[in-house]
Structure 1
Amino acid sequence: MSQPPFGQPPYGQRPYGQTPYGQTPGPDGLTPDERTWGGAAHWSALVAAFVALSFLGPLLVLLLRGGTSPYVRQQSVESLNFQISILIYGVVSLVLALALVGFLLLPVVGLVWLVFTVIGSVRSARGELYRYPLTIRMVS
């Protein structure tokens, strides 16, 4: 394989600030790829919940695509913070189940998790910046 001409990026890499071929930014300045990965940062938590570790989905999106776009990074960090917060709330509810209060809190925590994760997925896929309520912001 030969080297690219001087001043040209290596094959498969684009110069910083340029959109990929065939992807024109929308009115919000985001490419379809950025909107897809921003939404994936949220809905991947739903997929990862099947192994009871919903924070793995947003963490993978952050590690794989967080460096390519500020929008994808912001959405994956926001989703990661929410998933960790919900995990903490769930553990506290389990401990409070010993006092019988947790049996009421666990379904509420689960419902809040499901509703806000779906809302975050839809809004992020539309290109909107979504911030979860009730979130402890640990990762920045």
Structure 2
Amino acid sequence: LIPLASLVLAACTTTKPTGPATSPTSPQWRAHEQAVQQLSTYQTRGSFAYLSDQKKVYARFFWQQFSPERYRLLLTNPLGSTEMDLNVQKNVVQLTDNQGKRYVSDNPEEMIRKLTGMAIPLNNLRQWMVGLPGEASDFALDDQYRLSKLTYQQGGQTW
């Protein structure tokens, strides 16, 4: 009786139907990718967690993209106080910290790393926010040909 029951149960299993292939070489992905690359102004907000062996940071972010070369990143702590306000324009980066002190540079990633200890890949982050994989070594698309996950490695860190 037990072997018969296991045979019946095995015969009742179903497999999830697979949809159309969502390959990064598909024409649908290429069309979506080209459309997203046309975005030059947008804004988004969300939560941010940076976890490394040396540092753990939890914050909210507000990103405003004004043009392809001009953007603002505001990080606030869980209580809503400003931790960092980064303004980037072509060849000029200005960062204001939580004490109101201003710093100027020409490299936003390097400035953030020096001042906060966080190595944030801003150029890739900008692409990830609009649904492009950037320099990710591995990424997956959902059934609507949108970016659903990615893996990016930089300096021993995995994003």
TM-score by length of 1: 0.28
The structure having more radius of gyration, on CA atoms, is 2
